[in-house]
Chain A
Amino acid sequence: AQKVTQAQTEISVVEKEDVTLDCVYETRDTTYYLFWYKQPPSGELVFLIRRNSFDEQNEISGRYSWNFQKSTSSFNFTITASQVVDSAVYFCALDRLSNFGNEKLTFGTGTRLTIIP
Chain B
Amino acid sequence: DVKVTQSSRYLVKRTGEKVFLECVQDMDHENMFWYRQDPGLGLRLIYFSYDVKMKEKGDIPEGYSVSREKKERFSLILESASTNQTSMYLCASSKGRGSLNTEAFFGQGTRLTVV
Contact = CB atoms under 8 A, between A and B. Distances in A.
Given A108-B42, A109-B40, A102 B104 contact: yes
Contacts of B59: 104
A11 to B, nearest CB: 16
Q: Tell me whether chain A's interface is mostly helix, strand or loop, or mixed.
A: loop
B101 A101 contact: yes
A43 B58 CA distance: 22
Contact of B100 (A35, A37, A98, A108): A98
A104 B45 contact: yes
Contacts of A103: 101
A79 to B, nearest CB: 19
Given A100-B99, A107-B35, 12 more contacts: A42-B108, A43-B109, A44-B108, A45-B43, A45-B92, A97-B101, A100-B30, A100-B31, A101-B96, A105-B33, A107-B43, A109-B41
Interface of A: 4, 6, 9, 33, 35, 37, 42-47, 50, 52, 91, 95, 97-105, 107-110
B106 A44 contact: yes
Nearest to A31: B101
A45 B101 contact: no
Interface of B: 4, 9, 29-31, 33, 35, 40-45, 48, 50, 58-59, 88, 90, 92, 94-109
The 5 A-B pairs of least Cβ separation, nearest first, read A47-B103, A43-B109, A109-B42, A45-B106, A33-B101
Contacts of A50: 101-103
A102 B45 contact: no
A81 B6 CA distance: 34
Nearest to B3: A44
Contacts of A6: 42
Nearest to A112: B39
Given A45-B90, A105-B45, A107-B42, A100 B104 contact: no
A33 B103 CA distance: 10
A105 B45 CA distance: 8
Contacts of A45: 43, 90, 92, 104, 106
Contacts of B58: 104
